[in-house]
Amino acid sequence: MSGAPFEALRQGVQVLLNAFERYNGRAVQAALLAFESAPILMTPLQAAHSEAFIADANQILATSEPAGASNLGKALRQLAAALPEGAMTALYLFSDGGFTDDWQSALAQVRPRLKCFYAVACGLSADREALSAADQVLSVDGLTADTLLTALRAIK
């Protein structure tokens, strides 16, 4: 992903960070995981509304550049291994849907551990068919903190 879709990803994650800052429900932990040729844990799992997480995430958004293939399957396998047992997990996947590996089997592995799975389409030419594996597909251009807060509150 590069160009306009990558900029859409940055904008969408910023909206998610704003939602985390405004969320006053039960504690939410978040981590940022980039999936390129190899998945990269950009931030460790930590309180999503903490100053440290918000600052780290903003720094990452400001300095990240697209690189490598889009190996979602590897990232989902890493996610499955790292999720705490019994956690109420929501996955927000920001992507153009151009996955390059066997992501379907990896999603099947992690899916039972997800309470909610939202795909956020980045860019006008995002592959919505690939993203339709999510519970709901959102578009960056229509994304608001309120939309994401509603999703967070739905997790029971």
- For residue 123, the Cα-to-chain-centroid distance in whole angstroms is 15
pTM of the model: 0.84
Query: Buried b / exposed e across 118-140, counting CB within 10 Å, b at 16+?
Result: bbbbbbeebeeebbebbeebbbb
More confident residue, 30 or 2: 30
CATH classification of 4-154, choosing from 3.40.50.970, 3.40.50.410, 3.40.50.2300, 3.40.50.150?
A: 3.40.50.410
Judged by average pLDDT, the poorest of 14-28, 66-80, 91-105 is: 14-28
Bridge partners of 121?
95, 139
pLDDT (mean) for 39-59: 85
